[in-house]
Amino acid sequence: MNITLPGKAAGIMASQREQAEKQRARLGVEARSWYRITNAADPDEAEVMLYDEIGGWFGSTADELIAELRQVTAPRMRVRVNSPGGSVFEGVAIANALRSHPASVTVQVDGIAASIASVIAMAGDRIEMAPNTMMMIHDASGLAVGNATDMEEMAELLDLISDNIADAYAARAGGTREQWRERMRAETWYLPEDAVDNGLADEAVPGPKAGTPAAEPEEEPEPDMARAWDLAAYGYQGPTAADRPSAAGDDEPPVLTINVGAAVGEDFVEQLRSLIRPGVGPAADDTASTDPVAEVPTPRPSHEPPAAEPEPEAVAEPEDEWAASVAGLLPDDDADTWSALVTNLIEPDASSSAATA
- In terms of phi and psi (left: phi > 0; alpha: psi -120 to 50; beta: otherwise), the region of 139 is beta
How many domains is the chain built from?
1
Give the model's confidence band at 353: pLDDT under 50 very low, under 70 low, under 90 confident, else very high: very low
- Worst-scoring range by mean pLDDT, 143-152, 177-186, 198-207, 304-313? 304-313
What whole-number distance in Å separates Cα of residue 341 and Cα of residue 357?
23
Q: Which residue range forms the structural domain that includes residue 194?
A: 9-204
Q: What are phi and psi of 150, to 5 degrees?
A: -60, -40
Q: Which of 356, 258, 350, 275 is nearest to 318 (CA)?
A: 275
Tell me the average pLDDT of the chain.
74
In a domain, 96, yes or no: yes
Most confident of 21-35, 134-148, 231-245: 134-148
Q: Mind listing the pLDDT tens digit for each residue in 169-179?
A: 999 999 999 99
- Tell me which residue of 137, 113, 138, 133 sits closest to 124, measured CA to CA: 113
DSSP line for 43-92: TTEEEEEE-S-BSTTTBPPHHHHHHHHTT---SEEEEEEEE--B-HHHHH
d(CA 136, CA 141): 14
| 26-35, 290-299, 335-344: least confident range | 290-299
Domain membership flag for residue 309:
no
Mean pLDDT, residues 119-137: 97
pLDDT recorded at residue 352: 45
**Rounded to whole angstroms, what are the CA distances from 274 to 16, 258, 318?**
121, 21, 8
pLDDT band for position 143 (cuts 50, 70, 90): confident
Q: Which residues pair with 48 in a beta bridge?
A: 37, 79
pTM: 0.52
Determine, yes or no, domain membership for 60.
Answer: yes
What's the pLDDT at 91? Answer: 93
Residue 242 covered by a domain: no
pLDDT at 165: 97
CATH number of the CATH domain containing 178: 3.90.226.10
Question: Contact at 8 Å (CB) between 86 and 117?
Answer: yes
In this prediction, residues 148-167 reach a mean pLDDT of 94
CB-based contact 48:35 (threshold 8 Å): yes
Give the least confident one: 55-69, 110-124, 185-199, 341-355.
341-355
- Taking the alpha carbons at both ends of the chain, their separation in whole angstroms is 162
Q: Among residues of the chain, what percentage have pLDDT more than 90?
A: 34
Asked whether residue 119 is assigned to any structural domain, the reply reads yes
| 172 within some domain | yes
Whole-angstrom Cα distance, residue 329 to residue 332? 9
Q: Comparing 42-56, 180-194, 267-281, which segment has the lowest mean pLDDT?
A: 267-281
Which residues, other chains included, contact 162 with Cβ-Cβ below 8 Å and sequence gap of 6+?
139, 140, 181, 184
pLDDT of residue 137: 97
pLDDT confidence of residue 234: 60
Residue 3's Cβ-count burial label (10 Å; 0-12, 13-18, 19+) is exposed
For range 228-241, the mean pLDDT: 60
**What average pLDDT does the segment 14-38 reach?**
61
Q: Is 259 part of any domain?
A: no
Measure the CA–CA gap between 160 and 9, rounded to whole angstroms.
11
Please give the average per-residue pLDDT across 310-323, as a whole number: 61
pLDDT tops 90 at residue 349 = no
Please indicate, yes or no, if residue 221 is contained in any of the structural domains.
Answer: no
| H or E element, residue 137 | strand 134-137
